[in-house]
Chains A and B, each alone.
Chain A
Amino acid sequence: MKLIHISKTFFQGSPKEVKALADINLTIDKGEFTTLSGESGSGKTTLLNIIGGLERPTQGSVYIDDIELTALNDEQMAAFRLNHIGFVFQAYNLISVFNVKENIGFIMKLLGDEDTKIDKRIEELAAILQIEDILDKFPDQISGGQQQRVAVARAVASRPKLILADEPTANLDSKNSERLIKMLRTLNEKEHITVIFASHDKYVLDQSKRIIVLEDGEVIEDN
């Protein structure tokens, strides 16, 4: 993945402009377990959203597997996200009218996978993420930790090339945070999925193989 001269300015009514990212250049290899770190307002979530095609940069280009993401239209971008990217949001963002099983299988269903294949994958992920007992429950019937694990299961179910996780541990206690990161690490190692976090959680940083630190929209450290 390549990010070339990425800049993002939010226009909140002239003349108020907020520069969120300034000339970011990055290369992230396949199978990396990377964290974008920095204080609140440093631009890490914005960068994550740009990588995932949820936001468009004001300037610059994003390439994933030689596809210029920034050149795609909204429909193509949605299709790209569906086929290649899994998202884990800070606020879980499960679909409230679907039960846990339907939430996990939703993306596979959109991709046209057969029900038997979907059921098998759900069982497999439920076992890894220890959510077998809540498959028939709805999001408002389970705890925050369980919701976050369901969100991870949904993100990885279709075996995307890339998982983007925005502050996935922010609403979890330390025990649940550790369990979640370990699970993502296992998936990263077993299924060679590239995982990028936006987080300033110490545990997440400790577990990351690469940490990119942002400050005022610029990369100040990359190791």
Chain B
Amino acid sequence: MTAVVQPRPVEGRSLWQDGLARLRRNRAAMASLVFLVLMALACLAGPYLTGHAYDQVYRSYVKVGPSLSPYPKAEAIAPAALDALKRARVDVGEPVEIVGESVRIPVSSSRELDPRIVRYVDRVDIFSGARLEEIAADGRSGVIVADIERFTFLFGTDATGRDLLTRTLIAGRISLTIGLLATVVAILIGVTYGAVSGYLGGRVDLVMMRVVDILYSLPFIFFVILLVVFFGRNFVLMFIAVGAVEWLDMARIVRGQTLSLKRQEFIQAAEALGVENVGILRRHIIPNLTGPVVIYMTLLVPRVILLESFLSFLGLGVQEPMTSWGVLISEGARDIEGNPTMLLFPAIFLTTTLFALNFIGDGLRDALDPKDR
């Protein structure tokens, strides 16, 4: 053979690049993508910025409504102070004065004032750094001065007085993680299983697909309850439960696709070249499955999130104080009349995310569908 020069290759444009170019023109899908990225960032970084820990309980602020201005409200301070000192066996004089960022509470007692009574005040979330000042000579009266702690609860708080914004963002982490991980698990198992079953065909296919049929026939909730009974409630269990069910669909879809791919001439060409089964699966079948698989994946993520929400709603999901959107919605639904915002905010987060994922899925289907060209 004569020496052949190796010219610089011209870059080609793969079907993927074509598809992505089409996707980029789809406004709804692109907006959804941006939204999802923002949502993911908010869920990741947000909890550090809200100023509240997701499991910190503010007993003074149980079920307060959403507000842009910080708590406590001016009119709530005096009653809170009186309430706090109720058990201190002291007489609280009038008036309770609010001076700038601190509160002055005149107290008197028939006995000498015990300086430890300030703890009653400190114990309330509204106040901090309480101290006894201006003690009278006989020690029987004085003024408790306490700083007022101001908290902002943009979304309000939940039934145990935890910041709903922080909890919604933390819940988003859990829901999105379960959505992604369970989907990846489902796809890994499903694609491998379906492609092998479809490609090998014959008796192997028959057995493998009957196994799928049997697994299909197990009632999902029953299956999850069994798992919970045996292993207790556990975050990892969620992946297993959801992944174990969702890969069945994936396997069937992939098997169908593989069956039609198998008849394509390029597969026969590879067989005629002597390529082994593993090579055909890896180089020819699986790459050609990416289109349907990616589309199915974007539609599977919302399904998994919903499934998790459903399980959490039933009380089979993640455990307190950890939470997910499903748990929050379930809690909010319990108090829908008294405090609808507790339901509203997590529900908005969940539905917008699901919308965005569905839009992306639709966009991808339009962009990657080969019949379109």
Task: Judge: A and B partners, yes or no.
Answer: no
Residues of A within 8 A of B (CB): none
